[in-house]
Structure 1
Amino acid sequence: MSPSDLGHLIKPFVFLDLFDGDSSLPERMPMHPHSGIATITVITEGNMHFDDADSGTGTIDYGGVEWMRAGGGVWHGKEMSAGTSKRVQGFQLWIALPPELESASVDSQYLESHAIPQVGPARLVIGAYQGVKSPVRAPDGINYLLVTIPAGESWTYVPPKGHESLWLSVSRGTLHLPERVNMGEMVVFEPGSHAITLEAKTEDAVFVMGSAKPHPYDLALGNYSVHTNAKALQAAEAKIEEIGGRLREYLKKNAHSTAVPVFK
């Protein structure tokens, strides 16, 4: 999903990428900018190591979360590196931020799996569900869950009132709605806060699922940015260029450094 296609239908969810590769995958990620959005990375198989000047070090594996609110502008891409697993798979999601946050300061969190609450077979990555609240500092009105349903079992998700943007995507196995959803496929549901029963028949199904109150703003799109209006996008792109200049100067002076901090 990208902001120019399905992102218009289920905003604030505007981008989704399923990544899958060997342990060199994090090292191949270049430094790049963002603004106006928050990025959420979850691991569905394997693990990655995080190293951040403000958050310390640790491991993100199944159920762990990297959250970054880009706000008015940031460059990042080297705070995650190879973990102990030979392969790593996961999702990166972008959510569009409301006007009061789209130009705010940068906010990052790295939460290992033990810090993310569980509701039945679901890890509550962001949001609140059935009396449980995620520690991730996301805007209200958005739920994002990482779910594994064992073979032969089913689970029903009841979206909170007003959560009319609803979708899911499978990373491993096969899910039945009762329609079959295979690995790498994404499903967008008709608007409405209706309960959805999901079943794994012959194999475990691993998937992410999002529900939210609709984002009532237009999407002003840049190369790595999503804002609510052209003026906010223009200001953020100017800030991104300024930060990029400082980043290039840092890299000139620290050419042999193996760790590059998040630049903001």
Structure 2
Amino acid sequence: MSTPKPMFVREVARIDDPQFVSGQGAGHRARRLIDAPDAAFADPFVLMAEDWTSQGVFPFHPHRGIETVTFVIEGAIEHRDSAGYKGVIHAGDAQWMTAGRGVQHEENPPAGTSAHTLQLWVNLPAAGKMAIPRYQDLEASVLPVWSEDGVEVRIFSGAYADRVSTTLNHHPVTMLEVRVENGGAFQHSFAATDNAFVYVLEGAVEIGLVGDLLETSQLGWLTRSEEPGTSELTIAAQGNTCRFLLFAGQPLCEPIVFGGPFVMNTQSEIQQAFADFRAGRF
């Protein structure tokens, strides 16, 4: 009789707490939480920025080859794009935009207001790089929620326990917003080969058996296995109630080339993206 493999226990592999970088003019502060040099390490995640913005900071601009996930921490964001989609999301909401073969969009807080946001770029697999653009508003009030023993999990994408999100993905990605009261503990079982990270929105958390501490505004990458199987993640509140985001997805393990707002697999594809944009084909 074969002995079952022990479950892989997730711990903290690395903690990132980057400094502010130059913004795009007045009314903009930013931190780059995931950056291009880490593309292989972060796969399938490409970039992640934390922004404090006022209106006009992000006028119409193009993307190709990725999906953008924007989560509002404070304020509100108005979105409209060249595919005809538009929407408004508020604190606690998110939007999931598939740039695919090419889209132009703008995203700004309403006039006279400011917003604090996170935006994650999720890489599309080579077979989905030229997908038809798509936009999804993910309003917190209508998303599936699981709650028990001082833990509340809102499922933006993927699944948790017996709750499943209806959010559409070209490459499966889990996005959970979790609140844990003092004394509670969040537990999640998912593929051991998934790449995953935690971003703390409020309070502080202790992760894994070691109990590594992750504080507000810090991003913690989790250990992962190269061997198929299941992993177990445990996150407890350190002190008072904590709130965090968990993202997880299988690495694509494909070549990646950056060209400003375009993320493709080859340099020739980047050149074609710029040519298509200049020719008005977005």
Q: With the length of structure 1 as denominator, give the TM-score of the two structures.
A: 0.79
Q: Is structure 2 residue 212 aligned with structure 1 residue 183? A: no
Percent identity, aligned pairs only, is 22
Check whether the contact 2:80–2:106 (CA below 8 A) recurs between aligned residues: no
Structural mapping, 1:14-93, within 5 Å = 14-20=46-52, 25-50=54-79, 54-55=84-85, 57-62=87-92, 64-78=93-107, 80-82=108-110, 88-93=115-120
Q: 1:212 aligns with which of 231, 249, 255?
A: 249
Structure 1 residue ranges without an equivalent (≥5): 247-263
Q: Tell me what 2:26 maps to.
A: none
Q: Tell me what 1:119 maps to.
A: 146
Q: 2:167 aligns with which of 136, 155, 165?
A: 136
Alignment-mate amino acid for residue 217 of structure 1: E
Alignment-mate amino acid for residue 81 of structure 1: P
Structure 2 residue ranges without an equivalent (≥5): 1-32
Q: CA deviation at 1:49?
A: 4.3
Check whether the contact 2:65–2:100 (CA below 8 A) recurs between aligned residues: yes
Q: CA deviation at 1:106?
A: 1.3
* CA root-mean-square deviation: 2.6
Tell me the distance in 1 between the aligned counterparts of 2:277 and 2:71. 25
Q: Tell me what 1:254 maps to.
A: none
SS in 1 for 2:155: strand
Q: Tell me what 1:203 maps to.
A: 240
How many residue pairs match? The answer is 238
Deviation track 1:60-79 (CA, whole Å, cap 9, x = no partner) reads 331x221111112222124x
SS in 2 for 1:137: coil
Q: Tell me what 1:253 maps to.
A: none
Deviation track 1:120-149 (CA, whole Å, cap 9, x = no partner) reads 322222223334332222124321222222
More helix by share: 1
Check whether the contact 1:35–1:70 (CA below 8 A) recurs between aligned residues: yes
Q: With the length of structure 2 as denominator, give the TM-score of the two structures.
A: 0.74
More strand by share: 2
Q: CA deviation at 1:188?
A: 1.1
Tell me the distance in 2 between the aligned counterparts of 1:88 and 1:104. 30
Structure 1 residues 94 and 59, CA gap change in structure 2 (3 angstroms): closer
